Amino acid sequence: MAALTAAREGLAAFVPALANGGFESPAVTSYRVGPMTYDWMFNGLSGVQKNGSVFGAPAAPEGTQTALITSKNGSQGELSQTIRFAEGAYKVAFQAARRDFGGQVAFDVYYDTTLLASFSPSNKTAFAAFETPIFTAAAGNHTIRFVTTNASGDNTAFLDGIVVQQAMPPADRTQLQVKYDAIAAEGLNEAAYTAGSWSALQTALNSAAAALADEASTQKQVDAALSALTAARAGLVAEPPAAAKPGVPVLSSDNGYDTGLLDGDYKISMNLWYGENATIFKLYENDMLIDTQRLASASPAAQTAFTSISGRADGTYLYRAELINAKGATSSEVLTVTVKDAKPGKPVLSANNWDGDGSYDVAMNLWWGTNGSAYRLFENGVLIDTKPLTPGTPSAQAATTAVSGRTPGTYEYRAELANAAGATTSDTLIVQVTK
């Protein structure tokens, strides 16, 4: 261990010594135990050994010497030091290993007569790091003790790098939990409050939930979460009072009008032409909620909302809108949207092998239709080319594959256009190589 001295075969400072073996100030977060040469106490079954001694200890992590404590035939080794604590929370950190002789060693670490933790290092070839749980110390002199506990046998532990560290006590989450539960129990109606103030409350609730769930949250973080949650709840701003629940919304779709194709990309429009306004719009697809939007209320003016739909496969989709305000909710009639052009249109292949040799281009063209995002070309059933494509439905798409080195024979080509909804295959193109 660092700075271990041979004098009195005592342990030297595990950490830089402080005046009178005490702590400099509560602001310091790590305290080293005072010099062992005059502050540490050993009984007859504890002491110091050097690297290469007959004890066969692993190399010291710091310096050339380590402390040792032995349990022999039920008699226990002990080393201890009394130091001055400032009031606060602490833990004891150290490194330990066991001797490659005798049985498995076990020892306890105490703060005065309070057991902090029990340890049983198993590594015989290297030191491992250990630490006690956090404990609370009263101001004044207190003793840190390491005591073996084996009931029989000859068992030895080696110790190094003992540090008493100031620690943060577990955060008190009581008030935050009470506030969080109280808000949850209110059953607040989102539609009754402005979008900005409601969003701020949700952010504060999420932060509070994270602080409550995280055992590593500090008191400062918990207090900040409580302050933010209290402010967000107090900052809720009520929407102008509604006279009645919203009017009936009407849904429409531009599918077939936007591209001339009943493809899987379209827009659903909600219109409330006149009536009591809503503050929340919800859209359901096949009875599953797929979109929620906040709306500005300006009764009896019209309200609109739009939802973009993409990547739908061929099939039938049922849409229903719900408008909500503080007085209640109103649903639209169901809108049916049919998708039958989701997959790419059918590509057409051609080749320019007019001279019949083994070098030519195979061209793919999609003249009009739902575009693909990938092009694949197969030769005699084997994939020979893949290219990404940029969709621009319903514009044309094209791709070309250069073929070379083909010997005389018959070659069959088939192209495939693919997008999220599936793939479409061309007719087979036959190319004869004659020379």
The per-residue pLDDT for 27 is 29
The per-residue pLDDT for 428 is 98
Q: Which residues of the chain have pLDDT under 70?
A: 1-38
Which tens digit of pLDDT belongs to each residue from 269-315?
Answer: 999 999 999 999 999 999 999 999 999 999 999 999 999 999 899 99
The per-residue pLDDT for 63 is 86
The per-residue pLDDT for 330 is 97
The per-residue pLDDT for 35 is 39
Output the 3-class SS for the chain: CCCCCCHHHCCCCCCCCCHHHECCCCCCCEEECCCCCCCCEECCCEEEEECCCCCCCCCCCCCCEEEEEEEECCEECEEEEEEEECCEEEEEEEEEEECCCCCCCCEEEEECCEEEEEECCCCCCCCEEEECCCEEECCEEEEEEEEECCCCCEEEEEEEEEEEEECCCCCCCHHHHHHHHHHHHHCCCHHHECHHHHHHHHHHHHHHHHHHHCCCCCHHHHHHHHHHHHHHHHCCCECCCCCCCCCCCEEEECCCCCCCCCCCCEEEEEEECCCCCCCEEEEEECCEEEEEEECCCCCCCCEEEEEEECCCCCEEEEEEEEEEECCEEEECCCEEEEECCCCCCCCEEEECCCCCCCCEEEEEEECCCCCCCEEEEEECCEEEEEEECCCCCCCCEEEEEEECCCCCEEEEEEEEEEECCEEEECCCEEEEECC
Which tens digit of pLDDT belongs to each residue from 208-241?
Answer: 999 999 988 889 999 999 999 999 999 999 998 8
The per-residue pLDDT for 166 is 86
The per-residue pLDDT for 218 is 87
The per-residue pLDDT for 17 is 27
The per-residue pLDDT for 97 is 97
